[in-house]
Chain A
Amino acid sequence: MFDRLIRKLTQAPEATRATNLQEWADTIPETIRIKDIAPRCGCRAVGVIQKIRIDPRAGTGSVEVTLDDGTGRLRAKWLGRSKLNGIALGKGLEVEATAGDHAGGELVVLNPSYRLMPGPDGG
C-alpha cells in the first residue's frame, strides 16, 4: 500500500501531465488520438499547443504548431503565411486534414482547417 502512495507522490510529473491531456482530449467529440492516426487518412485530431514556430523568411513564410494530446505529437503546418490569429501556448486546437507519414517520428499535417478552443486548463 505504501508502495503505491510513494509512487503516486513521487511519480514523474510528465506522466501525470500526459494522463491529464489524454483525459481532456477524450472529452472532445469526433476526434481521434494522435498515436492512432494512420498515414494518409483524413482525420480530425485535437491537442494542446505545445510549441509555435514562426518562420518569416520571404517566399517561404510558414507557421507551425506542435500539438500534444498525451499520446503523441502532431505538427500542423500552414504554408505561405506567418501569422495565425489567436494561437498561444496552452490553448487547445482541433485540426482536420490528410495526415502525412510519420517521417522523423512526428506526424505532419499541411494547411489543415483548424478550430481554436480552450485548453485542458481553460487557457
Chain B
Amino acid sequence: MGTTAEALKRLLVGSPKSSGALEHTLLPKVIALPVFSSDPLSSNAYATQEALLVLAVAGAAGLDLILPISIAVATLLVIVVTSYRQTVRAYPLGGGAYRVAHENLGMYPGLLAASALLIDYILTVAVSITAGVEAITSASEALHEHRIGLAFLFIAFVTLVNLRGVRESGTLFAIPTYGFVLSIYFMIGTGVVRCLGGCPLAESAGRELPVAAALGPLLVLKAFAAGTTALTGVEAIADGVPAFRYPQSKNAATTLTVMAALSISMFLGISWLADHTGVIYTATPLGQRSVVAQVALAVFGSGPLFYVIQTMSAAILILAANTAYQDFPRLSSILAQDRYMPRQFMNRGDRLVFSNGIVILALFAALLIYIFDANLTRLIQLYLVGVFISFTLSQTGMVVRGRRLKPPGWKRTAMISGFGAFVTGAVLIIITYTKFLGGAWVVIAAIPFAIYGMRSVNRHYQEVGRELRRPDRRPADRRPGNQHMVILADGVNVATVRAVGYATSVGSAALEAVTFDPGSADAWRRAIPDIPLHVMRPSGSRTGSLREYLRAKRRELTSNDFLTLVVPEVLKSRSLLELVKNPGLTRLKASLLTEPNVQVMDLPMTEDKGDQASLEIHEPLRNHVCVLVSGVHNATLQAMEFAETLRPTDIRAINFGLDPLASERLGDQWLEHGIPHPLEIDDSPFRDLGSSLTHYVRQFRADGTKRVVTIVIPEFITPKRRHRLLHNQTALTVKGRMLLEEGVVVVSVPYHLHD
C-alpha cells in the first residue's frame, strides 16, 4: 500500500494498535454505562410515542391508558433486569443469550438465540438511526426529504468511529448519553413544577381525534407491546461483560441496575408529562413532531431549551446504534470461534476491533433503511421479536443451568429466571401476534435461513477438521520424495532460464518443459539441450490440454511422488496490477490448484531486473524454504514433505501468531508430532501477515540467482466451490505480496478434502 493511502487510513481509523494493548481497552463503569446503555436509554425517545400511536386509535379514552401501560412496561423491565443480573454473575465471560442457550438448552436453541440477536442488532442500528434522523426533521422540517441520505451519513460516521476502537468511542459516546439523561430529567423536573399551577398544553392537545376502534383488550396488548421497546439493550450488558474493568461481573451487574433505574424514571416521566400535556400522536399526517419534541415544546416553549432536547435526542439515538456496533461484532466473533461463522469474523483489525463484523453490520443496516424508506413506524414493526426470543431463551437457559449445577441459593435464582422467562415468553407471543402482519414476519422468516447458514458453516468446519486429522490420510512419514517438475515455458528468456536453474538445483527425478509456442522450440533446444521440450498444440483451451498432459504424467507416478508445474513469469513492474494484466495465466494457475496431486510453483521476476541478467543458467547456491503453518495436521505435514524434496539449504516452518491461542498450542503439537525441522513463531504485533512476511523474507537478501527463498503454502481444497471462501484467505494475501519480492518463489501445496 502506498504511504499516502496508509497515512490517510491512519488519520481516519487511527494508528494500528499492537495486540497486547487489548487490556487497555477495558471500560470503567462511567464509560461502560453510556457505551452499553445508549440503546435502552435512547428508546425512551420513542417508546411512549409508539404506545400513544396505538392508543390514539381508540380516541381520547385510549390515551388515558398511557400511564398504566407505562407502569406495566417498567415492571417488566425490573423483572428482566433482576433476572439478567444473575446471568451476568453466572457468566463472567459474557453471558449473551447465545452462550446461555447454547450451553444449557442445546445447539439449536443457541443458534435461534444467536440469529435472533444478530438480526436484532442490525435492526437496532436501522431503527436508532432512523429515529435520530426523525428527531432532526422534527426540529427542521425541510430536511424531511433528505432523510435517507442523512441516515447513510450517520451510519458512515458511527462505523468510522467504531473502527477506531472501543475506548475512544466510549469517551465520545459518554457526552451525549449523559447529556440526554440530564436534559430529559431537567425537562421532567420543569414540567412537574409547571404542572403544580396547571399543566401547559402540547400543540396537538385537544385536536379532533376520531374513534376508529373500540378500546378492547387487543388494543391494550398492542400498546403494551409497542411500549416494550424500552427493554431493548438489556442483553447488551450481559453480552459485554468481558469489556468491563475488573471485577467484571460485579461492575456489569451494577451498571445494569443503574441503567434500569435511569430508564424507568425517564420513561415514566415522559409518559406522565405526555399524559398531562395532552399530547396526541397519530399515524397521519406525516411530519408531525415526535412526542418528546411536543412535550419539550409545551414545557420550555420554542426557546433554546427545546433545541437542546432535540439535539440531545438526535445525538443519543444516532449513538444508540453504537450499542449494536459493540455487540454484533463481538457476537459474530464468538460464533466464529465456535465455528458457526466464517473465521474472518474472528480477526481483529488494525485497532483491535472486529472490523469485519462492523462493516457487515453497517451494510445490512443501510440496506434495511433503504428498503423501508427510513420510515420509523414500519421499521419498528420488525423490531423486538428478536429481543424477546433472546430474553426468553436466555432465562430458560438459566433455569436449566440452576437445576443442573445447583449452586448455593439456586432455587431462588431459578424462580426469578423462570418467572422472567414466563413473562417475556408471554410478551413474545403478544408481540408476534400483534406485529406479525405489520412486518414481524420478515424477521421470523429470516431466522431459519440464518440458523441453516450457521449450521452448515459449522458442519463444514467440522468435516474439514476431521479430514485434516484422519490417520489413514496422514502423509507417510518418510517418503522416497521423488520430485518431478514440468516447466511451463514461453520461449527462452530470463524468467525461464531462472526456472531451469532452480529446477536443476532441486535435482528432480524427471525434469521437462512444455510450451504452447512452436516458434520457440528451436531456440530452446539450442540453449537448453538437456531438458526435453514438449510442444503442445492447443486443442480447445490451453488449461484443458495442460491439465490432460499433467494427468497423464501423474498416472505414471506413484502416489508418494510430487508433480510440480513450474510457472516462470515476467512482470512488467512491481505492482499488483501486473497480476491482473495476464488474466490467462492467473486463471490457469487458479484452475490447476484444484487438480489433485499437482503443485503449482510461481517464479516471478520483474522486467527491469531481467534486462541486466544474462541467459546463462545458474543453479541457486542457497535455497531457504519457509513453510507457512497455522496448525499441525495432514496438510501441514504434506507441505513439510514437499519442502524436503526441494533439496534446500534449510527448511523452517513459520507462524505469525495471528491466532494467539493456536500459536500457544503449536509449539507443543510440533514436538508431539516429532517433525524434524525448526518451527519459528514470530509475533506480528499489528496482525498484518503481508508486511510481517515481507519483512521476514527480506532478511535472506535473496537475489533470485545465487540466493532464493521458497515460500510453501499448504492450502485446503474443498470439493464445493462455495466453501472455498471459508478458507485460504491467508494464501491469497501471501501470494499477492510475495510475487513482488525479488528472488522469492511461491508454491501452493494443495490438500484435497474429500466429500
**Chain A interface (Cβ < 8 Å from any Cβ of B):** 6, 9-13, 16-17, 20, 48-58, 82-83, 88-90, 119-123
Contacts and interface: CB of A to CB of B under 8 A. Distances in A.
Contacts of A9: 10-11, 14-15
A121 B683 contact: no
B657 A89 contact: yes
B23 interface: yes
B681 A51 contact: yes
B18 A121 contact: yes
12 contacts: A13-B18, A50-B683, A51-B680, A51-B681, A54-B667, A54-B678, A56-B674, A58-B676, A88-B664, A89-B663, A89-B683, A90-B660
Contact of A57 (B22, B676, B683): B676
B15 A16 contact: yes
A123 B21 CA distance: 9
A90 B20 contact: yes
Contacts of B685: 17
A83 B666 CA distance: 12
Nearest to A57: B676
B697 to A, nearest CB: 15
B671 interface: yes
Interface in B1-57: 7, 10-11, 14-24
B21 A121 contact: yes
A10 B15 contact: yes
Nearest to B684: A89
B679 interface: yes
Contacts of B678: 53-57
A51 B15 contact: no
Contacts of A11: 10, 15
Given A10-B11, A89-B660, A49 B683 contact: yes
Given A12-B15, A49-B683, 4 more contacts: A10-B15, A56-B675, A89-B657, A121-B19
Interface size range of chain B in the complex: 20 to 34
Nearest to A20: B18
B433 interface: no
Interface string B544-561: 000000000000000000
The 8 closest A-B pairs by CB, nearest first: A121-B20, A55-B678, A89-B683, A10-B7, A13-B16, A52-B681, A51-B682, A53-B680
Nearest to A62: B678
Interface string B274-294: 000000000000000000000
A121 B681 contact: no
B677 interface: yes
A56 B676 CA distance: 6
Contacts of A51: 680-683
Contacts of B21: 121
B1 to A, nearest CB: 13
Contacts of A90: 19-20, 660, 683
A57 B20 CA distance: 32
Interface of B: 7, 10-11, 14-24, 657, 660, 663-664, 667, 670-671, 674-683, 685-686
A83 B11 CA distance: 43
A69 B20 CA distance: 14
Nearest to A17: B18
Contacts of A122: 20, 23
B670 A119 contact: no
A13 B691 CA distance: 13
Contacts of B667: 52, 54, 83
B206 to A, nearest CB: 56
B20 A120 contact: yes
B676 A13 contact: no
A34 B124 CA distance: 52
B695 to A, nearest CB: 10
A52 B667 CA distance: 9
A102 B346 CA distance: 40
Contacts of B20: 48, 90, 119-123
A54 B679 contact: yes
Which residue of B19, B20, B24 has the most chain A CB atoms within 10 A of its CB atom?
A: B20
A116 B21 CA distance: 19
A6 B18 CA distance: 20
Contacts of B682: 50-51
B573 to A, nearest CB: 25
A57 to B, nearest CB: 6
B355 to A, nearest CB: 16
Contacts of A53: 678-681
Nearest to A56: B671
A122 B26 CA distance: 13
A56 B542 CA distance: 45
A108 to B, nearest CB: 15
Nearest to B18: A17
A99 B19 CA distance: 30
Given A90-B20, A121-B21, A122-B23, A13 B686 contact: yes
Nearest to B9: A10
B680 A83 contact: no
Contacts of A82: 671
Contact of A56 (B24, B660, B670, B683): B670
A16 B340 CA distance: 37
A119 B478 CA distance: 41
A82 B678 CA distance: 10
A93 B139 CA distance: 60
B514 to A, nearest CB: 38
A11 B17 CA distance: 12
